[in-house]
């Protein structure tokens, strides 16, 4: 089956099997930030944006994305780098395996709710698995980023 997806702003066409998953499609096109973690749609490591909405690419058939826009962390480098530094400053990137999915979900949260409360942050990111930390570093990183963003906007 021939599909065409706009992947990180570039049209990509490929033949895929009817049961091919979106995670396999994006990884086969060099998007290695999208990772397999659980194979059960529970860890958030495979998060991509499908038409600007976060989805678990291990749960979406590649054919379902035909004609749509898919964005991975590779397509959001500038936006991700700005936020990712705050996570690193809090020591929340111990092994780094969960970072791409975590950052994708945090960016989706900020787009949906620019200034979430602590409870809203915890609720939104509940589906992200991190085996190294207790999530406190990530939470502190998000809160530091939001405080920085508020002060930056106030200065403008």
What confidence tier does 147 reach under pLDDT thresholds 50, 70, 90?
very high
As a whole number of angstroms, the distance between CA 128 and CA 46 comes to 10
Biggest alpha carbon–alpha carbon distance for the chain:
52
CA distances from residue 49 to 52, 103, 119, 135, 156 in whole angstroms, order as listed: 5, 12, 23, 23, 30
Classify the phi-psi angles of 39: left when phi > 0, otherwise alpha if psi is within -120 to 50, otherwise beta. left
Tokens 């659980």 locate to: 38
As a whole number of angstroms, the distance between CA 88 and CA 95 comes to 11
**Mean pLDDT across the chain, nearest whole number?**
91
> Mind listing the domains of the chain with CATH numbers?
2-74 (3.10.20.30), 76-155 (1.10.150.120)
pLDDT in tens, 75-89: 999 888 888 888 888
What is the model's pTM?
A: 0.89
């Amino acid at each position: 089956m021939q599909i065409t997806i706009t992947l990180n702003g570039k049209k990509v066409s490929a033949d895929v099997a009817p049961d091919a998953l979106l995670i396999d499609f994006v990884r086969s096109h060099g998007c290695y930030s999208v990772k397999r973690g659980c194979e059960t749609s529970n860890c958030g490591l495979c998060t991509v944006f499908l038409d600007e909405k976060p989805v678990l690419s291990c749960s979406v058939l590649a054919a379902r994305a035909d004609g749509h826009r898919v964005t991975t962390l590779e397509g959001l480098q500038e936006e991700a780098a700005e936020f990712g530094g705050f996570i690193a400053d809090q020591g929340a990137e111990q092994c780094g395996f969960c970072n791409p999915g975590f950052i994708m979900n945090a960016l989706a949260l900020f787009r949906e709710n620019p200034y979430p409360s602590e409870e809203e942050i915890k609720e939104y990111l509940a589906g992200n698995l991190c085996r190294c930390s207790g999530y406190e570093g990530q939470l502190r990183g998000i809160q530091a980023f939001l405080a920085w963003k508020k002060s930056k906007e106030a200065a403008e």
